[in-house]
Amino acid sequence: MTDDHPTYGTSLGVSDLHTISLLGRDLSADLIGRVSFGHLAFQLITLEEPTPQQARVFEAVLVALADHGFTPTAISARMTYLSAPESIQGALASGLLGGGSRFLGVSEDTGRFLADALAELDELPTTEAGWDAVAADAVRAQRAAGRFVPGLGHHLHKEGDPRTPVLFAIAREEGQFGPHLALFEAVGRVAPEVTGKALPLNGAGACGAALADIGIPIELLRGVVLLARCAGLLGHIAEEVRGHRVAAAVFADVERHAVYVDPTAADE
């Protein structure tokens, strides 16, 4: 008698009564205690084992993106925990759901912007001047279309994002400074002249370029950002749990200073 039940193929994890297999290897015997979480995450995403060089860049990006203080996503996680302390998953989810074009989505937007510009090239530049020309064209096209240039500028680090040069240096040290980072670096050089504004290259954009250069698919870049930020959000929730209740103070302050505005009244 044959078993005609359909099967559901996966290259990730499968389990039976006694074993757990992940990526074709025994989870307990081959992976637990033998690989880092970053190493495993890279392999789950790409189905390829990272080289030590790729792994260092990947881990550096995860650290760079883990937390950035009281951002809207962190505040959202804290406020949700205040409202529903029985649902830590809801608090984490609320923070992750806020990942968009202004916070947490910049890495993906930058990676896509760079990838689109690179796709237009017949061959990669070999000189700094060549990269600058490509970057200038890409920035002009973006602005002509009425779009912001992703990866440029930061609401706080207006004189330079401290993460950016470190990420550049690590990628260079590990031989992972590829075309996305080269183009992104060139954008930073030409943007002041093209845009008329001195805007720094932000760390989120550098992370997107670095991830693209180590082989993370563009459509998954935001997922890596959320993976990193989940650690930071959990840290914010942990502070609330320990009694450092920022959310309660924010709520009380807003409630105390809320005023009614007549929607029919003329703007003053």
**Percent of the chain whose predicted confidence (pLDDT) is above 90:** 83
Query: What tens digit of pLDDT does each residue of 179-229 get?
Result: 999 999 999 999 999 988 889 999 999 999 999 999 999 999 999 999 999
98-102, 138-142, 201-205: segment of lowest average pLDDT: 98-102
- Is a pLDDT exceeding 80 seen at residue 19? yes
Classified as helix, coil or strand, 111 is helix
Query: What tens digit of pLDDT does each residue of 103-115 get?
Result: 778 999 999 999 9
pLDDT at 157: 73
**Percent of the chain whose predicted confidence (pLDDT) is above 70:** 97
pLDDT at 90: 97
pLDDT at 255: 93
pLDDT at 198: 85
pLDDT at 236: 96
Rounded-to-integer distance, Cα 143 and Cα 242, Å: 47
What CA dihedral angle connects 149, 152, 156 and 162, to 10 degrees?
160
Domains (ranges, CATH) in the chain? 8-49 (no CATH), 51-243 (1.10.230.10)
- Listed in sequence order, the residues at least 6 apart from 239 whose beta carbon sits closer than 8 Å to its beta carbon are 78, 246
Query: What tens digit of pLDDT does each residue of 51-81 get?
Result: 999 999 999 999 999 998 899 999 999 999 9
CB 80 within 8 A of CB 180: no
